[in-house]
Structures are given as structure tokens and as C-alpha cells.
Amino acid sequence: MKNIPKKFALYLNGFNALSIEGAAVLKELQDRGLMPQRIYACGVGALFANDYAALDGKFESRVLYRFAHLSKTLKFFSNTGNSLFSKLASTYKLATAVTSKKVKSIVKEKFMLTKLENTSKPQIDLRYSAVNLYNASEVLISSKEWRAGLKASMSIVPVFVPADYRGQKLVSTAIVTGVPGFSTLENEKLIKIFVNTTPRIRKKLPERTWEIMLKADYLRTMSLIDNFSKKFNMVLDFSDFGEDISNFSTDSWIYAKKIARKKIDDVFMML
């Protein structure tokens, strides 16, 4: 496609396992022989970006490996309700019920991901995005420190504790602004493409105090994502896509690639 830019920066977020569509975008770009000059990533998006940036021909197999383990984790609490918010609320309860044997099993699954099994050092410019808890500034960790970068960019509390990095306490940008690399938007000279995979909350309204507080934080992040989105040259928005892959099957990956292909065609044609 002649309209696809040759040099661009990709901004990829990822709130949870429903962010598989971000990996689908990377796979579609790979199939088209297109490579971002630079990637900014946070949350699960950072994990998929890291797998992609290894450039060793194993990206899709790694995605399926991640998806399988993330699916096991989320299936545990997916029956608590049909709405996405009920799943988020269940995540919170699981993360805080530290005495539960089932929670320990969940943590073990997540630790399997953070151990970086089947992962290699990035071979392109990948910048892991996190936020300093002390002053709310963005911290971008280069691919030279990819292990520390992955840990910090995936520190989604309360599931994970804040990461220690050079005397700073860092949390994932996914739960703050939702936009990795938000501090670079004014100065980044490349064409900026934002892949938003943070799902929107629908249906069930919160009732308990802690549920209301959790949703308020989430809505604030969604508002920031909407505001920052205006600063990008292109946006691939998958925020309403999560409900379509709630069964966490291999078919979801095939479907995600199909949707990613269509969105890339539609958005790039507007250049």
C-alpha cells in the first residue's frame, strides 16, 4: 500500500489480556514488511512489543504462548459477571485476598509471564513507559535495560507492586494516562501512530465504595487517553473490541488479526 508511512513511531498500550489486538497490529505490520522506527509501550503491550522487537521469527508463537497463560488467569474470574467492570472488580478482590490459595495460583501464573520465559533482547528502539509515583512524571526505559523496562511498564497495581528503578517507585503508564510515551508527543518528529487497546467499561454500575473509586480511576484514565489521542497522526482504536474475545480462544487471535488488518487499511488510507 503506497499510503503506508515508511518511518513512524508506534505507541502501544495494554491494560490486560484483552489487549491481544495490539499484538495483532504488530503481526500485521510484520507481514507487510513494515517496522516502526521506534516503539513506546506499556502494560501487556510492552510484553508483546518486546516479543516483536526480538526479530527472531518467533513472534507469533510467543504471542500464543502469552495468550494461553493470560487466558488461564482470566478464566478464573471471568464467570463473576458478563461486564468488563465485574472482571476488573474481581481482579481487585483476587489481588487483595492474599491468604487465598487460589490467589497464590494466580500470582504464580503472572510470575510465569514476568520471568520473561521464551523472551529475547529487543533488536530495535523499544522504550518501556512507566510513571514515577513521587512526581507523576513519565520514565522511559530503553531497550538496553529491557528486563527492568518490562517489569516497570507492566507494574499494574494492585496486581503487581510498584517497581524499583534507580531510586524511583514506578507503576505502569497503562493505569495512569493509558498512553505510553505521552511526554514525547510534542517533540517526536516521526509520524505518530497510537494503538489503543484499553477496553471501555460498560453495563454494570458499581455499588460499593471501593468499586466506585476503582471505576473513577479507570474513567479518568479513559478521559486522558481520549485527550492524548488528538495529538497523534493516526489512531488504531480497539477500545470496544474486548467483548468480542471474551472466550480467550485461539479463534480470538485469528479474529484479532482480521480486525487489525482492516483497521490498518482504513486508517492508513487517510494519510
pLDDT of 161-194, one tens digit each? 899 999 999 999 998 999 999 999 999 999 999 9
HSE, CB side, 13 Å, CA atoms: give it for residue 181.
Answer: 30
- Which pLDDT value is given to residue 89? 46
The pLDDT of residue 31 is: 93
CA–CA dist 102, 104 (Å, integer): 5
Range with lowest mean pLDDT among 19-28, 65-74, 108-117: 108-117
Grid cell 517507585 in the structure block, residue: 169
Q: What's the pLDDT at 212?
A: 60
Per the model's pLDDT, the better-predicted residue between 163 and 80 turns out to be 163
Output the pLDDT for position 83. Answer: 45
226-253 mean pLDDT: 79
Domain residues for the domain of 25 are: 8-268
Question: Residue 22: inside a domain, yes or no?
Answer: yes
Residue with the three cell numbers 463473576: 80
Residue 2 lies in a domain: no
Asked if residue 4 has pLDDT above 70, the reply is no
Average pLDDT score, the chain: 78
Question: Does 17 have pLDDT greater than 50?
Answer: yes
* Spatial distance between the Cα atoms of 204 and 218, rounded to a whole number of angstroms: 14
Domain tally, the chain = 1
| Residue 93 confidence class, pLDDT cut points 50, 70, 90 | very low
**CB atoms closer than 10 angstroms to residue 189:** 9
- Can you tell me the distance from the alpha carbon of 37 to that of 39, in angstroms, rounded to the nearest whole number? 7
Candidate from 5-9, 24-28, 184-188, 209-213 with smallest mean pLDDT: 209-213
pTM: 0.81
| Tens digits of residue pLDDT in 248-271 | 567 888 888 999 999 999 877 765
pLDDT tens digits, 117-136: 567 789 999 999 999 999 99
**Does a structural domain hold residue 208?**
yes
CB–CB of 40/11 below 8 Å? Answer: yes
User: Measured at the alpha carbon of residue 41, what is the angle toward residues 91 and 33, in degrees to the nearest 5?
Assistant: 125
Residue 57 belongs to a domain? yes
Q: Is residue 130 part of a domain?
A: yes
Q: Is 193 part of a structural domain of the chain?
A: yes
The phi and psi torsions of 90 (rounded to 5 degrees) equal: -65, -35
Q: Which is higher by pLDDT, 253 or 228?
A: 228
Residue 242 confidence (pLDDT): 56
Percentage of residues in the chain having pLDDT higher than 90: 46
Q: State how beta strands 38-41 and 8-12 pair.
A: parallel
Nearest to 37 by CA among 25, 21, 50, 53: 53
Q: Which of 103-112, 216-225, 240-249 has the highest mean pLDDT?
A: 216-225
